Amino acid sequence: MNQKRIKVRGVNFSKRESACLKDPEICFNKQASRNSNEGHANLMPKEGATTEGVLYEINDEDIEKLDRFEGYPNHYNKKIIKVILKNGEEEDAIVYIAQPDKIKVGLKPKEEYLNHLKEGKDLISEEYYNFLQSFETLEASNRSNIKNAE
């Protein structure tokens, strides 16, 4: 959801707006390639859940750039789903869903990674922002483990 990160990656967009999904929930169960304990974002089915996010309008050439950063097709698969815009209209959007062999229970995001999602604060509700803040990060978990060992 971090527009600065999108731009740094050389991905151009012509529009950026709020969107949400009904029934999947964000989780961090996609195993990072560099750290087997680190989780990256994924969407998992959960009835009644709402996932808020940012919808970018991106041309096909820039979607190919984004694919490389997202690890498509080895780490994530792409799926076209309907998202709900702030005005209530639905629009097709591409989302990245973790490949089944990359999913692992008990992972946590790094603070830096979670902060990229929280950069969408201008387009998500305060309630959803607080939900994102509620996730324990690897660093917080490590600090807790060190204190418990003392």
CATH number for the domain spanning 123: value is 3.10.490.10
First to last CA, the chain: 38
Report the DSSP pairing between strands 90-98 and 39-57. Answer: unpaired
The domain total for the chain is 1
Q: What is the pTM of this model?
A: 0.91
Distance CA(62)–CA(78), nearest Å, equals 15
Q: What per-residue confidence (pLDDT) applies to 141?
A: 83
Model confidence pLDDT, tens digit, residues 5-39: 999 999 999 999 999 999 999 999 999 999 999 99
Gyration radius of the chain's alpha carbons: 16
Pick out the chain residues at pLDDT < 70: 144-150
Structural domain boundaries, residue 110: 3-149
